[in-house]
Amino acid sequence: MDDVLPRRDRNGLLLLPQASQDPRDPLNWKPWLKIMVLAEISLLSFLSLLSASLITPNFQPLSRYLDRPLGQTVYVTSMFLLSCALSSIFWNPISNVYGRRPVYIITVLGGLLMSVASGKATSYGPLLAFRCLNGFFGGVPGGLGNAVVTDLFFTHERGLYMGIYTVMYITGGHIAPIIGGYIADDISWRWCFYIPAIITAVVWVIYVLTVPETLYPRASQTQQPQRRTWTQNMTLQGSSNSTGRLRLIDFFRPFQMLIYPSVLLPSLYYAVAFAHGSILFIISSAQLFAADYGYEAKRTGLLLGIPITVGSVLGELLSGGFSDWISERRSLARGKRKPEDRFLAIIPSFFLTPLGIIIEGLCLEHRTHFMGVAMGIATASFGLQVATTVVYTYTSECYKPQTPEIGTILNFARNMVSFGMSFYALPFVVAVGVQDAWIVLALTIVVFFFPLVPLYLWGAKWRERLGNPAFNSDL
């Protein structure tokens, strides 16, 4: 390997990471195979959040069926998010040793079975229990997908491909309200759990038959891991990382990453932005749209789902490839890559996500035409998607070997703050009115954005001073 010249991109910059000479190395796979794997793990993440959110436009009829107040019914979604936050802490360390493929196979199957069980529940307690298990298994694609993207693609490509993954994941929760109301009205609210389970089952079978293992340890020549054949890979024979061992400390590694500002600060910002720029709309729309506009489930789903989906898609058109372009241009100017360059692409989110929240709050307070509400939701969603892609790409570029742990932290922070939203958002509206409540929540995002400015200026120096984490150095 020492006599092999380092590989460079088309602009002459050093490729990171350097691929091995092994054709089984995911970095050496054919483009069609990489895109196929990306498409399938993105679709699984889409279905994960679809399963979480399809019931949300139907909280009113579900509340009547369960004979529970609306404030308690929203926990059907909140408990899913809570267990999602915890699931990656358990499953991602396992994937670092036994591989991404077996973890996906086990958890996706478990998630779809728990979704079916949720649809069959006849009372509040069992429904919450099944939703917790649904999130524990079914939430894994949302917390592990970023690791698969970094397994497959070089640093200079990740903005585009990470963006595809993240927009698919978020869009699952945004498409759900559009169709959820129609499903409940035309069939039954139970099918809001059955339908994602059926679709996930089909995708699961395709995944089992077509997607190989992407985990590829990059040990030194003095400690070469034992490589599996393609047949062993697909049939789950042996460990994907023969040099790795699963230890108790591995389940706490994600929290170790919080000592690094390049992980801590973006994670805090993204968690608040996601909760206030997406989940806030999802959990509040059923009550607020019914109170202000008299909307039933179908129209609630349309007014929420269409603008939030359009905003996400348009936001991704700006963020993914654009952040790659900025990074490449600035890297050419200095002769080497610097992850902080990507923060220049996050600037629109600073303005648009808070602005969109404020617009919706003002329109709901004054009961303007529904298009004002739609524009507010779309604007916030646009800004959130920009933030999502940049944060995921930046953190994985800073610490590629620790990408699963970073994905765990992002997933944990995002879902914990989102879970908390169900306890304070609607009571806050009752206390001070939707306009003032939404303004305060919007300004909270601004507060958490400001620490990214010193990170942009001095993040590289901070990383150099702190050094790299010692664990997962072979990944």
Which residues contact residue 182 at a Cβ distance below 8 angstroms, ignoring those fewer than 6 apart? 298, 301
Residues 174 and 306 in one domain: no
Average pLDDT, the chain: 82
Q: Please report whether residue 240 resides in a domain.
A: no
Note the pLDDT tens digit of each residue in 128-159. 999 999 989 988 888 788 888 888 887 777 77
pLDDT value for 1: 41
| Backbone φ and ψ of 369, nearest 5° | -60, 145
In a domain, 184, yes or no: yes
194: pLDDT confidence band, cut at 50, 70 and 90? very high
Tens-digit pLDDT profile for residues 374-399: 899 999 999 998 888 888 888 888 88
Regarding whether 198 and 297 lie in a shared domain, the answer is: no
Residue 361 pLDDT exceeds 70: yes
Q: 149 with 32, same domain?
A: yes
pLDDT at 117: 93
Question: Looking at the structure, do residues 369 and 265 belong to the same domain, yes or no?
Answer: yes
| Banded model confidence at residue 18, pLDDT cuts 50, 70, 90 | low
Number of independent structural domains in the chain: 2
Rounded CA gap, 440 and 448, in Å? 13
Q: Read off the pLDDT of each residue in 220-249 and give the average, rounded to a whole number.
A: 60
**Distance (Å, whole) CA 26 – CA 228:** 13
Q: Residue 8 pairs with which residues in a beta bridge? A: 14
Query: Which letter does DSSP use for residue 276 in this model?
Result: I
Q: What is the pLDDT of residue 112?
A: 92
pLDDT confidence of residue 133: 92
With a cut of 80, say whether residue 295 has pLDDT above it: no
What CATH number is given to the structural domain containing 55?
A: 1.20.1250.20
Are 199 and 275 contained in the same domain?
no
| Predicted local distance difference test score (pLDDT) of residue 75 | 82
On whether the CB atoms of residues 213 and 131 are closer than 8 A, the answer is no
pTM for this model (two decimals): 0.81
Q: What is the pLDDT of residues 24-78, one digit of tens each?
A: 788 888 889 999 999 999 999 899 888 888 887 777 788 888 888 777 787 888 8
Domain assignment of residue 364, yes or no? yes
Say what the pLDDT of residue 222 is: 41
Instruction: Give the CA radius of gyration of the chain.
Output: 22
Q: State whether the Cα torsion 144-140-240-43 is positive or negative.
A: negative
- What is the rounded CA–CA span in Å between residue 292 and residue 286? 10
Q: Please tell me the predicted confidence (pLDDT) of residue 153.
A: 84
Q: How far apart are CA 334 and CA 393, in angstroms?
A: 20
Q: Is 224 part of any domain?
A: no
318/37: higher pLDDT:
37
| Domain extent at residue 437 | 255-474
Domain stop point among 185, 216, 247: 216
32 class by beta-carbon count within 10 Å (0-12 exposed, 13-18 middle, 19+ buried) = exposed
Alpha-carbon torsion, ordered 325, 28, 313, 139, to 10 deg: -130
> What pLDDT is attached to residue 237?
57
